[in-house]
Chains A and B, each alone.
Chain A
Amino acid sequence: MRRIYLITYDVCDPKRLRHTFRCLRNWGDHLQYSVFECQLTDTDLLRCKAELAEIIHHKEDQVLVIDLGPAASRREDLVEAIGQPYSAMAAPCLVI
């Protein structure tokens, strides 16, 4: 079961910031500065957290993982955008 997580971070050092961004890019969509929306299984989340724990400074930086519930039963109005539009995609496969 995938769940939706909002992962936000506050990292003080530019190098670690870049690493955090690059790490999270492998796991989810970049919504805004320092905000990612990730759809993760429990094993994905485990791996993702382990990677982040390796990158950040545990005394100076902070990463927040916010659980937004199961991806399968996602509500239409889970995320509401003011200004720039927001869209969430779901398909059985990806065709480009």
Chain B
Amino acid sequence: MIRSTDHELHDSLSVSESTDDSQYTERFTDYLPVRMINEFVYCPRLFYLMHVEGQFADSYETIDGGIVHRRVDSGNGHLPAVNDPARGEDLCFAVEELDDPPADALMDQLPQPKRKRRKHIQPPTLFGDPKDESEDNISSPVDDSSPNLSRPPSKEHGAETAIDREKEDETPAIIHARSVTLSSDALGVIGKLDLVEATGDVATPVDYKRGRPKKMSDGSLDAWPPEKVQIALQAALLRDNGYRVNEGVLYFNTTRQRVVVGLDSELEKQTVKAIQNARQLFESRQIPAPLNDSPKCAKCSLLKICLPDETRSLMPVIHEHDANAQPTPSDVDIRPMITARDERRPLYLNQQGLMIGKKDDLLIVKEDRKVIQQVRLREINQLSLFGNIQLSTQAVQHLLQMNIPVAYFTRRGWFYGTTQPLGVKNILVRREQFRKADDLITCLRLARELVRGKIRNSRTLLMRNHVEPPRTVLAELKRLSERVLKADSLASLLGLEGTAARIYFSQFTGMLKVKCDIETDPGSALSERRAAFDFRGRNRRPPRDPVNALLSLAYSLLTKDCTIAATIVGLDPYLGFYHQVKPGKPALALDLMEPFRPLIAESVVLTAINNRMVTPEHFIVAGKSVVLSDAGRKGFLMAYEQRMDALVTHPLFGYRVSYRRLLEIQTRLLGRWLTGEIGEYPVFITR
């Protein structure tokens, strides 16, 4: 996709004649947004994750940036055409389709109606607009630092300033146009310019940045390279639309400083190169390697999606000299970069007959038409409903808009579905998932590791919690965990897993430290008392004793969380590698959860019973089946979430994360393995 020589492109960047060149115009059906080029220069991997895979995450910086841009984005986007008949025909304004009807273009020459100010006085962090101020009789306290009025003394291009000033003297009317969307067919880019200051046919793009400028060693201020490229592109857009541009300006909101960017040929070359490379990457569909030990990572909002150091440490090192050598994991130190913890909590609705509505950003929980609780949506990250609970459509819509998935269970805790937002546009990883699932050898490779992880982790759980774990059992589990690696089919793997589970569950009672009784059929003559937490092996559908009832519910909850994790990453939860495809069965979620069954689900059951969060009174015995009462389920949900919140040290990466985050990390790594970025999928095995 390199279109022509640098030289030609360089020409096309600087003058407007390029729109005549239909050869270029036809090539680009899609414009690259200018902002994307900025991200490409910052980090190609960031560009890829955001614009090819469609992943995004907010951070302090992105939110602050959004607030800084609020005033600018409220502009009407009108920039008068250049009063030059020769150039007028070349204008190609990309009018925003939704916000601006096309007829607006005709209104450019008419006097603009006074912009309706939304609120009373703008906070002083944003710039003042001289025109608005005269209308509103407001004296802004920040006039001195206002980017519209003053030019900093550190300006580099003295000669051009003089020309500028001359122009301003002739035509003192400076037009300030905000939020102007322009496109260039020659470059194939489109961009929204925060502010354009135009005097006659000379225009200066001004871009708002939240941070602070780069301080040079001599004390002068400079812009960061990605921002420079962005402003150069904005200048090129203005030129392609008939304006003359001498310089670009970056306004840094934190320090309220204005930095002038000179548009030299060096920068233009760099810009053209960036567009080319970004476009190439866009079309190659190959994720670039993470930056190596870059300080940029720590501030990057996609850190928790990108996993730079984790990925690097798992990437195979290719031996250049010895072609036969096995690729070995590289030796990368994983920097302890702390991603912001998800501070939100899950919400479970468990009480039958509740009605859930929505008001502003609150969920209103009503019982018998009386409000019993209000839940702030910003404080929850998922919603689970058990049984007969009404959720209004308005609430569902708002939940999905806020990216909060909803999971549905029957009253007894059978997980039967989720409602999720449209999700990531990352179809590439899903395509790889379908390709790899067709390959039996790949399936077997992953399945072996998963089963091994499960057996190893259940062995660890026994060693940690059993009063006196029999040595033979531990030895047998260890032997089985090694044997699964030699299993030659999924069927034999299933057999080995079954054997291991039977041995393991035979020792499960030894981990329960509460001895009490439960009445099987209260009030009836046939009623008998038996040990409440006497566990003689796994049974289900329906579970026939309290421990099995708890285990079933715990697996249900874990399936829900794995399904959500798979969807967040962009994988299809229904196509598994080890578990067979069956309608309605989230096979991939079941695959993912194998190593976590002992660590999360079974461990919660032990905690809930041993800490008496669930007691025999919490069970309802009906015939052979046993179910939890609403109160018991509440206690158990608390125990489950406590476990998900507990911190665990990752054996490969050495940092501590919550189990909830761990599920996401492991799922992301599975995605990386599917796309071939890492050589082996590291199954989580605790120490």
Residues of A with Cβ closer than 8 Å to B? 1-2, 22, 25-28, 41-44, 46-47, 50, 53-59, 91-96
Contacts and interface: CB of A to CB of B under 8 A. Distances in A.
B123 A53 contact: yes
B644 interface: yes
A50 B123 CA distance: 9
Contacts of B121: 57-59
Contacts of A47: 63, 67
A41 to B, nearest CB: 5
Interface string B462-489: 0000000000000000000000000000
A93 B365 contact: no
A65 B606 CA distance: 44
A43 B63 contact: yes
Given A41-B343, A57-B120, 10 more contacts: A25-B374, A28-B376, A54-B119, A56-B120, A57-B121, A91-B345, A92-B642, A93-B346, A95-B634, A96-B373
B119 A55 contact: yes
Interface in B369-388: 372-378, 380
Contact of A95 (B70, B124, B360, B638): B638
Contact of B347 (A1, A44, A58, A93): A93
B348 interface: yes
A53 B560 CA distance: 40
* Most B Cβ at <10 Å: residue of A22, A58, A93: A93
Contacts of B349: 95-96
A93 B63 contact: no
B64 A46 contact: yes
* Most A Cβ at <10 Å: residue of B59, B60, B343, B377: B343
A43 B380 contact: no
A92 B63 contact: no
B192 to A, nearest CB: 20
Contact of B345 (A28, A46, A55, A93): A93
Contacts of B365: 96
Contact of B348 (A25, A28, A95): A95
Given A2-B343, A25-B360, A57-B120, A96 B60 contact: no
A53 B126 CA distance: 12
A26 B343 contact: no
Interface in B331-382: 340-341, 343, 345-351, 354, 360-362, 365, 372-378, 380
Nearest to A60: B120
A59 B346 CA distance: 41
Contacts of A59: 120-121
B143 to A, nearest CB: 16
A96 B378 contact: no
Contacts of B582: none
B108 interface: no
A94 B637 CA distance: 9
B604 to A, nearest CB: 12
A92 B660 CA distance: 12
Contacts, number: 86
Contact of B351 (A42, A46, A96): A96
B97 interface: no
B638 A92 contact: yes
Contacts of A96: 347-351, 354, 365, 372-373, 375
Nearest to B374: A25
* Most B Cβ at <10 Å: residue of A26, A50, A92: A92
Contacts of B641: 91-93
Nearest to B637: A95
Given A44-B378, A47-B63, A25 B362 contact: yes
Interface in B55-85: 58-60, 63-64, 67, 70
B7 interface: no
A94 B123 contact: no
Nearest to B644: A92
29 contacts: A1-B343, A25-B360, A26-B376, A41-B343, A42-B60, A44-B378, A46-B64, A56-B120, A57-B121, A58-B121, A91-B345, A91-B638, A91-B641, A92-B345, A92-B638, A92-B641, A92-B642, A93-B638, A93-B641, A94-B348, A94-B375, A94-B380, A95-B348, A95-B634, A95-B637, A95-B638, A96-B347, A96-B348, A96-B350
Contacts of A1: 341, 343
B116 interface: no
A25 B363 CA distance: 11
* Most B Cβ at <10 Å: residue of A28, A47, A91, A95: A95
Interface in B214-237: none
